[in-house]
Chain A
Amino acid sequence: MALPGAVFANSIGGSVLNSTNSNTVPRHRAYDDDYIKKAADTAIFTAKNNGASYCDFRLSNFRSQNVSTREQIIQSIRDNENFGFAVRVIIDGTWGFASSSTFSEDEVVRITKIACTIANANKSIQRNKVELAAVPVYNETWKTPIKKNAFEVSIDEKVNFLFGVNEKAKSLGADYCSSFIWAVNEWKYFASSEGSYIKQDLHRIWSAFDITVVDKETGNFESRDSFTAPIGKGYEYVEEYDYMKDIEEAVEHTRMKQKAPSVQEGKRDIILDSNHLWLTIHESCGHPTELDRALGYEANYAGTSFMTTDKLNKLQYGSNVINIRGDRTQKDGLATRGFDDDGVKTTEWDLIKNGKFVGYQTTREMARFIGENASNGCAYADSWDHFPIQRMPNVSLQPGEKKLSLKDLIADTEDAIYIKGSGSWSIDMQRYNFQFTGQEFWEVKNGKIAGMLKDVAYQGNTVDLWNSCDAVCDKTEYKLGGSFFCGKGEPGQVSPVSHGSSPARFRKVKILNTSKEAGE
């Protein structure tokens, strides 16, 4: 079979660059743009010759560096680089996908043919033919706007920083302290048979600590995680965050928690801080507004959604102060990028408007199921050997329009529990029934913080909770939280995602005493 020119041959213009001894040069830089483009064109050519109506080629390099410590001990220093490519084809409305970690001319042809063979083998059990929403052709490059590349900061500097964190915690009275810095660089090249060629260089970082205080005599121990957030930034995040203040508060508040009274169960108002609320948003709004879930594509793994398509533009999901947007362009967001893994330019849109459910997260394959002509750019694969599926954009609660600080909100509250930090979380497979705990629980009485509580969990139903929200603080209180590891799909994939919010108040929520729940 003829190829479109002798791809991979140095004489054609592409070249394999000399490998370098530098530790900081990522793998993909061994290949120049012409070389990679010719590989992509080979895959597309081969796919078309084997009957494909669509083909995309994705070359990816996933780098991660994780430095983990405990007290003055290094638990691990790991530097990972995972490089490979995938070819995705559609033949007669059926997907075929294959991937390899060996990047060579012969392998691109072999893998493309396997993808076509798989598509042909599965046609007989295909009852719903794949149709992709239209997308413009792009030839662009996009990069996370970082100030300081974490991979260019020495291991030594990172270890010393973390040892400093742990030492500070110990000196203040923590019995144990662990901490880590985790940096990720995701480089992707996407090309499709429709003519797009897109290159992206994405960065994110997560740095956190946790402390434990133990009373061996009573067997009572309590822990507290840092209030840092994983974020779409470079090493500047580590340098800008006020770790010392967080450590001081963590130790002081954990000791207070050991002696705090156990909460009285019953219905109480709650105020959720941004460093807690992000996870509530993630679980109770981010996931149920995924269109693939609502349609049943995740029924066997991540679950379905109570927010089915018949409820779109009808369901009063929350009170009228609730406005939640999907946004893959949000500053510092973990899901922020220029293009998704379908080659769709990213955007922002309403999911919940004045409390009403008005939008879903979509991919090119899913958009047509709700009558949309275009995807809102939510396809993502967490590795070169995984099929891109619909993943969550940054999903954020919009700040209240009226001036309202956290201090104002507490002052306006008669009796409530103010919850900070994310603890345990669990929600059912359709996203109705949830139960969350936190890191710190503060009792609010007559407009003031009255003291700390422990053993607190709150439980309820998604729609009831969001409809009970009567106040969201203004934009001066807005912060991002997020996760590196939102799980979905088979084989399992993780995706990074941020959620912004200002603190918000919810009325008459069911509070549980976790100690009593354990039968203590």
Chain B
Amino acid sequence: MILNENEAKNLLTKVLSYSKADSASASLEGNNTYNIRFARNSISTNGFSDGLSVRISSSIGKKTGSVSTNKFDEASLKNAVKMSEDIARVSPDNKEFMPPLGSQTYLNAVNFSENTESLKGEDRSQKISYIIDKSVSSDVTSAGYMEDEVTFIAIQNTSGLFAYNKASMAKLSSTVRTNDGTGSGRFERNYVDVNKIDGNSVADWAIGRSKLSVNPGEIKPGRYTVILEHAAAADMLNLCIDFMGSREADEGRSYFSKKGGGTLIGEKIADDKVNIYSDPADVNAPSVPFTGSGEPMNRVVWFENGVLKNLHRNRYWAEKTSQPAMPYPSNIIMQGGTKSVDELIAESEDAVLVTRFWYIRTVDPKTMLLTGLTRDGVFEIKNGKITRPVKNFRFNESPMNILKNIITLGSSEKAVGAETDDYPIYVPAMKVANFNFSSLSDAI
């Protein structure tokens, strides 16, 4: 269920009117979500979900309790507020309690599109129908997913804060496998505006990639120059940001901790070409301009010309360490160059092209060592051309090694990695030296 700003404000005001706590905040979230899933060149499951829920956090002194519910009759709301207060009352003092924020100013949001809100059932069917029909006529098998939704979030507290954001998101993805089981291609797109998804074009590309990747040969595992396409680069960037917590670094248990104490902020720890920032109002990767507690999200530079500029930290840690509060970013943007992936290939003498990654996990937080696999097309490049498809690899590599070993950045685009989900990332394809492939995988 989508409430407009006034409706949300009225409901939150009502919820907070039941509060007997020293301070309280309430947040509403609602959604209208449609999805269609397909596999084996046919529709499989689908659904529509209409949801609305409220979370109430009550504080008595430095004790806080939170309760969420999706029942909105008066008795249930009163009960939820009372329950959050009861939880707070029986809790010990939270030594890291921070008082609620007062009224805030937010960037203008650009994360809603009427095109997505007005999408019809036949529009969804048409997008999927093209992929399925083209897969059948191309003698390949596709599986995929389309989802479009409108959501809203509204936050109000007893100190005068109110925040509201209505958002939309449309996503389409498909994995295309050749019928002999030796080739695979995949695309995934998500945009605020459904009209930005050129489903037919990306489906054609994925079908082409599946055929290009059939019967892969072997390259010996080892360290190679790689071209990471956008989806692969997005995963590395996203996971790197995950590690960039200020508190862990200050406490000496992070890659970003300095030996002997302190952090690496201000030090050049990546290649000169690395410039990474967050900005919810950037149209290339728009996001909600506030956090779940109503803290404003503004433009923050994380890396500038390879120098680490900031680490993210909550309000408590910021106050304790006399540093600025820096919420976990709601999007990531990395400046790229001008070259397309094809141009990066054309200028490469000896490299491996990686389309995507899969199942990435942390092996060692000290070195930020990650493991995972390649998928949906790995190709040998010799003298500026793709010469043959090669088998998938398991890699063991640190995203910071990647940021240190950049040779060339391609142009940036909105990308979805294996582990990024809906997190907005605008990232360049990257040509990187010395990437560590640990072993081969027979998986397609």
Contacts and interface: CB of A to CB of B under 8 A. Distances in A.
A binds B: yes
Interface of A: 19-21, 23, 27, 72-74, 76-84, 94-102, 111, 114-115, 117-119, 121-122, 124-128, 154-156, 159, 163, 175-176, 212, 214, 216-221, 223, 295-301, 303-304, 306, 385-387, 389, 423-433, 435, 437, 455, 457, 459, 461, 490-492, 510, 512, 514-515, 517-520
B112 interface: no
B3 interface: no
A470 to B, nearest CB: 23
B51 A125 contact: no
A83 B45 contact: no
Given A19-B79, A77-B66, A216 B260 contact: yes
A459 B438 contact: yes
A117 B144 contact: no
Contacts of B92: 74, 159, 163
11 contacts: A77-B65, A97-B46, A99-B49, A122-B125, A127-B43, A212-B253, A385-B51, A426-B371, A428-B373, A429-B375, A433-B442
Contact of B436 (A19, A387, A519): A519
Interface string B36-52: 11111111111111111
Contact of B70 (A82, A118, A304): A82
A390 to B, nearest CB: 11
B177 interface: yes
A43 to B, nearest CB: 14
A519 B51 contact: no
A155 B91 contact: yes
A95 B53 contact: no
B155 interface: no
B359 A426 contact: yes
Contacts of B134: none
Given A101-B53, A433-B392, 5 more contacts: A73-B96, A78-B66, A101-B50, A156-B91, A385-B49
A72 B371 contact: no
> Max chain A CB contacts within 10 Å: which of B71, B125, B444?
B71
Interface residues of B, number: 100
B68 interface: yes
Contacts of A127: 40-43, 132
Contacts of B111: none
Nearest to B358: A429
Consensus secondary structure, chain A interface: mixed
Nearest to B392: A428
Interface stretch (B271-279, B282-290, B362-370): B362-370
B43 A118 contact: no
B70 A459 contact: no
A23 B86 contact: yes
B90 A156 contact: yes
Interface stretch (B10-18, B327-335, B394-402, B406-414): B394-402
B443 A99 contact: no
B431 to A, nearest CB: 19
A81 B79 CA distance: 12
Contacts of A72: 95
Nearest to B40: A296
B270 to A, nearest CB: 15
B4 interface: no
Contacts of A216: 252, 257, 260-261
A299 B175 contact: yes
Contacts of B132: 125, 127
Contacts of B394: 426, 428, 433, 435, 459
B420 interface: no
B66 A79 contact: yes
Residue with the greatest number of chain B CB neighbours at <10 A, chosen from A79, A126, A154, A303: A79
Contacts of A220: 366
B367 A155 contact: no
The B contact surface, by secondary structure, is strand
A389 B40 contact: no
Contact of A214 (B42, B251, B362, B440): B251
A128 to B, nearest CB: 4
A518 B369 contact: yes
Contact of B147 (A304, A491, A510, A518): A491
Contacts of B95: 72-73
B145 A301 contact: yes
B39 A297 contact: yes
Most chain B beta-carbon contacts within 10 A, residue among A73, A102, A428: A428
Contacts of A122: 36, 43, 46, 125
B68 A80 contact: yes
Given A79-B83, A306-B443, A490-B35, A99 B253 contact: no
B87 interface: yes
B46 A19 contact: no
A517 B438 contact: yes
Contacts of B361: 424-426
Given A97-B47, A295-B40, A296-B177, A428 B253 contact: no
Contacts of A512: 396, 438
A385 B47 contact: yes
Nearest to B62: A74
A79 B1 CA distance: 22
B441 interface: yes
B300 interface: no
A437 B90 CA distance: 40
B383 interface: no
Given A101-B50, A221-B252, A517-B396, A125 B38 contact: yes
A302 to B, nearest CB: 10
Contact of B67 (A79, A154, A389): A79
B91 A159 contact: yes
Contact of B46 (A96, A100, A101, A433): A96
B66 A74 contact: no
Contact of B45 (A95, A159, A426, A518): A95
B259 A217 contact: yes
A231 B366 CA distance: 31
B257 to A, nearest CB: 6
Interface string B252-273: 1100011111000000000000
Q: Which 5 A-B pairs have the closest CB atoms?
A: A433-B441, A127-B42, A518-B367, A428-B443, A299-B143
B70 A426 contact: no
A317 B124 CA distance: 42
A304 B40 CA distance: 12
A155 B366 CA distance: 35
B145 A459 contact: no
A96 B36 CA distance: 10
Contacts of B91: 74, 77, 155-156, 159
Given A159-B91, A159-B92, A176 B253 contact: yes
Contacts of A19: 73, 75-76, 79
B94 interface: yes
A221 B248 CA distance: 11
A304 B441 CA distance: 14
Interface string B174-203: 110100000000100000000000000000
A114 B369 CA distance: 48
Contacts of B79: 19-21, 23
A273 B47 CA distance: 42
B208 interface: no
Contacts of A297: 39-40, 44, 143
Interface in B124-174: 124-125, 128-129, 132, 141, 143-145, 147, 173-174
Given A72-B95, A426-B359, A428-B392, A83 B71 contact: yes
A302 B44 CA distance: 15
A519 B401 contact: yes
Contacts of A423: 363
A459 B147 contact: no
